Every structure is written in structure tokens, then in C-alpha cells.
Amino acid sequence: MAKPDSNQALLDALRNPLRRSLLRRYVESSEMLSPKELSGLEKKPLSGVSYHVRALAKCGAIEDAGDRRVRGSVEHFYLPTDLVKKTPWVLTTLGLEA
């Protein structure tokens, strides 16, 4: 079971509609995703998506799953954590079945 403070941090993060949408994509995806990929899927600027992905990582909703070098920069990939996948209220908030 998650600690109450981690639940509160996650609840605070999910108040933002874009963060909910990004986290839903992570949970529904069978593969790790990068902010660049999410930016294309959401049709939002990469800078904004990256900001929200960092916020989701900070609250423990997603975790680093690796990276790869792309033309002189590094593309980071993330996966949802067990905190998200095994917490019924999070899945309900995302519009998914618990």
C-alpha cells in the first residue's frame, strides 16, 4: 500500500487535465513512452509535455525506463509505476477500470 503522502502528491498532480491524459496514455500503452512521443499524440508542444512528465515522475506516477541518444540529445522513456497500476482510485480518476 502506498504511503498517504505519496497518495496526496499523486492526487495533486492529477488535478491537471493534461497530466491525467498523459498518465492514461502510459497506463494504456504496452510499451514505454517518451515525452516526444506523447507530444505528438497529444498535439501539444514538447516543452509543456516534458514539464508535466517530470511532474508525474516526481510524484511517483511514472518511472524512468531507459533512454537513447537521438541526434546529439537524449530521449528519455517512462513507464507507469505500481502505485498507479494497483491503486483503484487512480485508475478511476483516469477513466479506466479499477
Q: Which domain holds residue 77?
A: 4-93
Q: Which grid cell sits at 15?
A: 488535478
Within a domain: residue 80?
yes
Q: Structurally, how many domains does the chain consist of?
A: 1
Place of cell 508525474: 56
Q: What is the pLDDT of residue 3?
A: 55
Q: What is the pLDDT of residue 97?
A: 77
Chain Cα centroid distance, residue 14: 10
Q: How far separated are the first and last CA of the chain, in Å rounded?
A: 15
Query: What tens-digit pLDDT sequence spans the chain (98 residues)?
Result: 455 577 888 889 999 999 999 999 999 998 999 999 999 999 999 999 999 999 999 999 999 999 989 888 899 999 999 989 888 999 999 998 76
Within a domain: residue 56?
yes
Within a domain: residue 98?
no
CATH number for the domain spanning 77: value is 1.10.10.10
Within a domain: residue 50?
yes
